[in-house]
Amino acid sequence: MTQSLSSAQEILQNLSSGRRSAVTQMEETLARIEAVNPDVNAIVALRDRDDLMAEASAADLATTRGALHGLPMAIKDLTNVAGVPSTQGSPLLADFIPQHDDLMVARLRAAGALIIGKTNTPEFGLGSHTFNPVYGACANPYDRTRSCGGSSGGAAVALATGMVALADGSDMMGSLRNPAGWCNVYGFRPSWGRVPNEPRGDVFLHTLSTNGPMARSPEDLALLLNVMSGADPRQPLSTTAALNEPVSLQPAIGPMRIGWLADWGGSYPMEPGILDTCEAALDVLRELGHQVELLTPPFAAERIWQSWTTLRSFAVSAGLRVFLEQKQQLKDSAQWELERGLALTGREIQAASDLRSDWQRVAARLFTQYDALVLPTAQCWPFEIDLDHPGVINGTDMDCYHRWMEVVAPVSLLGLPCLAAPAGFGENGLPMGLQIFAAHGQDQDLLALGQAYHTVTRWPERRPPT
């Protein structure tokens, strides 16, 4: 097996046993990036080679070794890494170099990871299409004329092309799920609170986004999730005891009852071939002994959307308000979210929260009948890279920049754990994925289900064209 196909578990076992040195691993990683990255633009702000080789050499001499010791990783460019440009894809932050690591990065370093640079992301992470005026667009490795998704697009592409073995991402509106589906890798949105967000600013009101792992197998997802997880006293949602227990994929999960929500009874327009591809993947779950049933929509999609768009604008505008005086320098979608969010009334925000609570009560009942639910990771195939976003899906006009991503909102609104798993390829040769989600706290069962599925399908081994 070539280095670019090796799992993170394999690489780390070789590093731990001495069969491979951190220096060799770094050399091969940088060589792979040099060969592949110019065509896809996934790795940005790559650090100085001599500095990286010195850190790898020091790792080989270290006596204390964490779970990720000697493994090169690149961090999504929405997260601060000390000494590395942290632009968030915005010209307003093009020269910003943080002096301190964010909490998640500090945990990765403590586990022995070697931070080599950043992965590309949309401006401020808005829109599931990775392009920005600082670094440019990141291409889909299976068709470089098309989008790789986002906002963790650079992370997904770096994994799919073998430039890294593990990657971090973040997910508000499918940012760990959509690019995983479009790049034929795995992404995992953990239960709210398992991976604490950066403890700055408000820590109570805006509970829509979470960090999470990406990898080429659920087993590797679990490895990284355990490093990222754990309570932080500054984040009240991270203190639930059950969410601080390490994830283990053994023993394997028993038969599950799974509900297939398809296009939510026609509420989510889908391009041709997506549901067929996902249903073929569901047959694999049936062959593994799980019961899969088509469900009628359990809740009105428009009510979920109404709640989601209000609470999202409320949260996004809170983060962007520091740029209010430079608003005209933000991209259109950021300006739209900022203006919309700042115009919301307390009554409108409360009404949106009431709708979310209604959906939570329905979902809680549904999860007493089903162990997991399934949706596609996207409503369209990867679109042309020079588009900002799709305006029409299968004849239905999209009324805002993120309506085409509506299929991810039921999970995001409730902060449910969700595995994005490769579903295979359409007749167009492009990848698609499944969202497999469950009740809050069921992260381990989802990853165990995913690992059994991966053992049979091994989709990430279908490599992008050279």
> Can you tell me which residue has the tokens 């359990």?
298
pTM: 0.97
DSSP assignment string, 23-52: HHHHHHHHHHHHHHHHHH--EESPPPHHHH
The helix (run of H) or strand (run of E) holding residue 227 is: helix 218-228
**What pLDDT score does 4 carry?**
59
Question: Cα–Cα distances in Å, from 429 out to 288, 350, 422, 456?
Answer: 26, 45, 13, 20
**What pLDDT score does 241 carry?**
61
Structure tokens at 429: 């040769």
One-letter identity of residue 337: E
**What pLDDT score does 7 carry?**
96
One-letter identity of residue 15: L
Structure tokens at 400: 């805002």
Q: Give the largest CA-CA distance in the chain.
A: 62
391, 397 contact by CB (below 8 A): yes
Indicate the length of the chain as a whole number: 466
Dihedral angle at the C-alpha atoms of 97, 102, 107, 113, nearest 10 degrees? Answer: -20
18-461 maps to CATH 3.90.1300.10: yes
Nearest residue to 250 via CA among 452, 434, 27, 78 = 452
Residue spans per domain, the chain: 18-461
Q: Which residues are catalytic?
A: 76, 151, 175
DSSP assignment string, 365-378: HHTTT-SEEEEES-
**What pLDDT score does 253 carry?**
84
DSSP assignment string, 147-214: E--SSSHHHHHHHHTTS-SEEEEEESSSTTTHHHHHHT-EEEEPPTTTSPPPSSS-SSS--S-EEEEE
In the chain, the N- to C-terminal Cα span, in Å, equals 17
| Ranges of residues in the chain whose predicted pLDDT is under 70 | 1-4, 239, 241-242, 466
Dihedral angle at the C-alpha atoms of 210, 195, 43, 54, nearest 10 degrees? Answer: 160
% of the chain residues with pLDDT over 90: 92
Q: What is the side-by-side order of every strand in the sheet holding 431-437?
A: 166-171, 210-215, 186-189, 418-425, 431-437, 372-376, 257-260, 291-294
**What pLDDT score does 239 carry?**
67
**What pLDDT score does 2 carry?**
41
Task: Name beta bridge partners: 258.
Answer: 292, 372
Quote the CA–CA distance of 465 and 141 in Å, as a whole number. 7
For residue 465, what is the DSSP state?
P
